[in-house]
Amino acid sequence: MRNMKKCCILLSSLLWLCMALWLTGCGSMEKKDEKKSIRIGVSLYRGDDTFINNIRGELEKCAKEYEQENGVKVNMDIQDAKGSQNTQNKQVERFLSLGCDVLCINPVDRTAASVMINKAMAAQIPVVFFNRQPVEEDMDRWDQLYYVEAEAKESAVLQGSIVVERYRENPGSLDLNGDGVVSYVLLEGESSHQDALIRTEWSVQTLRDGGVPIEKITGGIANWERSQASALMEQWLEKYPGQIELVLCNNDDMALGAIDAMDRTGISGICTVGIDGTTPGIEAVENGKLVGTVSCDKKKYAGAIFGIAASRATGQEIPPEIELEEGKYYRCPQQIVTKNQK
Ligand code: GAL
């Protein structure tokens, strides 16, 4: 009887040992199954946009760092939609047919994202949108849709506060002709872009709230582009000689365009402010041409796009440092950049 008991104990121990070995064996098999490579399809609304190019550069760095840290090969295919939604739709189809694990899309037409969402949902491939926000109804269609941005209202309030602070310190640096009013012109981004409308509204509002006596001379849409802004500014300088005291720009490239026009016509001393903190924008702040800009942390911006994408591709949790609002929106921190404040 005692021997029988011993035998039973021995057998059950053996059984436990086998199970444990089998389980650890399974664990290592699972390890073998872990993804050794991920494929990410990225489509940019326009590859020649300065800010988007800065983000692209950071995304490429993120991919390299991820490969080094995790030993996972990242195949990141970055395509330029060259301003055509049709081209972008085709790029999405191609990415899906190539077996991408996740897509990162900077939509050409933010109101037309539903076509791309349909395709991604049908293939069960998550999408991280960035910079051009799909409409809410589209974002709410699936829990595998994300959006990364630098919040437009925050950018504008910070931009406005650069001017408010300057005015408080020295009103004469803005009210150049001393008539008690700061006369401004406005350079706006694409009319269909949510950022352009919100930035204009809140930049002007912040000046008013901050007690700067402003008066608008004129404004125009230069579609985020340096050359378009430069052409508009040249016309205004000619039409309103000696009257322009402030140039409010929805982004740095347009601010640089306005500065190009001033340089060409030999005019200086007009306060110009931008948004983005692009590489040439920051250079212009450093050399005193641009009074200030609002810079989003591009490393964090791209890090959020990449981090969400990589976690979706590998089936892991989104890293907690990428703080998402409503489980899908990431808003990148921003800061003022002026010569004294960096
Ligand atoms: C804005 C940015 C612009 C331009 C645009 C493209 O947020 O300030 O410079 O890049 O996005 O969508």
pLDDT tens digits, one per residue of 264-274: 999 999 999 99
With a CB cutoff of 8 Å and minimum separation 6, the contacts of 311 are: 317, 318, 319
Contact 98, 40 (CB under 8 A): no
List Cβ<8 Å contacts ≥24 apart for 324-328: 324/146, 327/143, 328/139, 328/143, 328/145, 328/146, 328/147
Give residue 194's pLDDT band: very low, low, confident or very high (50, 70, 90).
Answer: confident
- Calculate how far, in angstroms, residue 131's C-alpha sits from the geometric centre of ligand 1: 7
- Calculate how far, in angstroms, residue 251's C-alpha sits from the geometric centre of ligand 1: 7
Confidence at residue 142, expressed as pLDDT on a 0 to 100 scale: 98
- Residue of 54, 224, 294 to test ligand 1 pocket, by largest number of atoms within 8 Å of CB: 224
Query: What does the block give as tokens for 94?
Result: 């191609």
Using CA atoms, how far apart are residues 164 and 207, in angstroms rounded to an integer? Answer: 6
Strand 329-331 relative to strand 145-149, pairing:
parallel
Q: What is the 3-state secondary structure (H, E, C) of 243-273?
A: CCCEEEECCHHHHHHHHHHHHHCCCCCCEEE
Ligand 1 binding pocket includes 226 (Cβ within 6 Å): no
Ligand 1 binding pocket includes 132 (Cβ within 6 Å): yes
Give residue 340's pLDDT band: very low, low, confident or very high (50, 70, 90).
Answer: confident
Mean of pLDDT over the chain? 92
Q: Mutual orientation of helices 85-97 and 113-123 as an angle, nearest 10°? A: 10
Q: Looking at residues 15-44, what average pLDDT do you find?
A: 60
Whether the pLDDT of residue 181 is over 70: the answer is yes
**Atom nearest to 51 CA in ligand 1:** 10
Confidence at residue 29, expressed as pLDDT on a 0 to 100 scale: 39
- Amino acid making up residue 175: D
Query: What does the block give as tokens for 321?
Result: 């440092």
List, edge to edge, every strand of the sheet that includes 334-338: 214-221, 182-188, 246-249, 271-273, 292-296, 334-338
pTM of the model: 0.89
Using CA atoms, how far apart are residues 96 and 101, in angstroms rounded to an integer? Answer: 8
Whether the pLDDT of residue 190 is over 70: the answer is yes
Q: Give all domains of the chain, ordered by start, each with its CATH number.
A: 37-149+298-332 (3.40.50.2300), 152-296 (3.40.50.2300)
Ligand 1 binding pocket includes 199 (Cβ within 6 Å): no
Ligand 1 binding pocket includes 225 (Cβ within 6 Å): no
- Calculate how far, in angstroms, residue 5's C-alpha sits from the geometric centre of ligand 1: 77
Strand 73-80 relative to strand 145-149, pairing:
unpaired
Using CA atoms, how far apart are residues 292 and 273, in angstroms rounded to an integer? Answer: 5
Cα 269 versus chain centre, distance: 31
Ligand 1 binding pocket includes 156 (Cβ within 6 Å): no
User: Hunting for tokens 């990364």 — which residue is that?
Assistant: 148
